[in-house]
Amino acid sequence: MSENIPADQSIDAARVPEDAITASILAAVAEHRLPAGTKLGEQALSDLFACHRSNVRRALTSLAAQHVIELQPNRGAFVATPSPEESREVFEARRTIERTLARLAIKRARPEDIAEMRRLTVQEAEARARSDKPAELRLSRAFHMQLSVIAGNSVLRQFLTELTLRTTLILGLYGDRGSSSCAKDEHGPIVDALEARDEARLVALIDEHLAHLEAGLDFDCPANRAMTLAEQLIPQRPL
């Protein structure tokens, strides 16, 4: 018997070059290293990953299907730039799905699941303490994804995979200013409610958490998009 191959794409260590490309781009977007609007040229990527351009092409179409990038005919691939309207819809969809995931998770969470959630909140707090933004983003996303794993519905889990990524893009575009967003530890109380099997409290906390995230967005000041040359070459002085 041959070993089972995990269906989900894990960061790095990919079986085929196509997966390495998608994983790298996904990770870069998830950690705010690739700003919205960045052009992803085919040749640049095929050079980087030392593979044929057809692999790059497949990876890009796959990412486009997840709304992580946008394909413009005869123009190329760009990191997606969600509109304010789209952002609203993404948050609404997230609330819907995470509410259900929370209810499911309450019924199924085992002690080790809760311990894993707790561990993620601790690691996230550590990352925040040392101002490691990429790790913080990654762990925050992992927290929400872990909830979907516990819930045990792979369809909803896959939807949430896409939605959390799009949320990260949105935060990069419209949020993160004013130290709002994930400043405090909002995940800790969520684990508490999950451990207490307090469904009403858990759902309320998640709703609040997502509402808080969304309320922190500022659509009038869309910074953090792909920088032009001028912005990159003429650095504005820090306050």
Partner DNA sequence: TCGCCAAAGATTGTCGACAAAATTTGTTAG
Partner DNA sequence: CTAACAAATTTTGTCGACAATCTTTGGCGA
Is the CB of 98 or the CB of 136 nearer to a copy of itself? 98
CB-facing half-sphere around the CA of 98: CA atoms within 13 A: 28
Rg (CA), the chain: 19
84 near a copy of itself, rule: CB under 8 A: no
Question: Applying CB under 7 A, which part among 40-48, 125-133, 161-169, 188-196 lies near DNA?
Answer: 40-48
* Segment 135 to 194, residues that bind a copy of itself, using CB under 8 A: 153-156, 159, 163
Secondary structure (H, E, C), 79-117: ECCCCHHHHHHHHHHHHHHHHHHHHHHHHHCCHHHHHHH
71 near DNA, rule: CB under 7 A: yes
61 near a copy of itself, rule: CB under 8 A: yes
Alpha-carbon gap, residue 127 to 123, rounded angstroms: 6
Q: Residue from 40, 60, 90, 203 that binds a copy of itself (CB under 8 A)?
A: 90
58 near a copy of itself, rule: CB under 8 A: yes
Is the CB of 40 or the CB of 59 nearer to a copy of itself? 59
Angle in degrees, 0-180, between the axes of helices 187-195 and 133-151, rounded to the nearest 10: 20
* Segment 74 to 93, residues that bind DNA, using CB under 7 A: 74-77
> CB of 77: closest distance to a copy of itself in angstroms?
15
Of residues 131, 211, 217, the one with CA closest to residue 177 = 217
> CB of 76: closest distance to DNA in angstroms?
3
73 near DNA, rule: CB under 7 A: yes
Interface residues with DNA (CB under 7 A) are 16, 39, 41-44, 51-55, 57, 71, 73-77
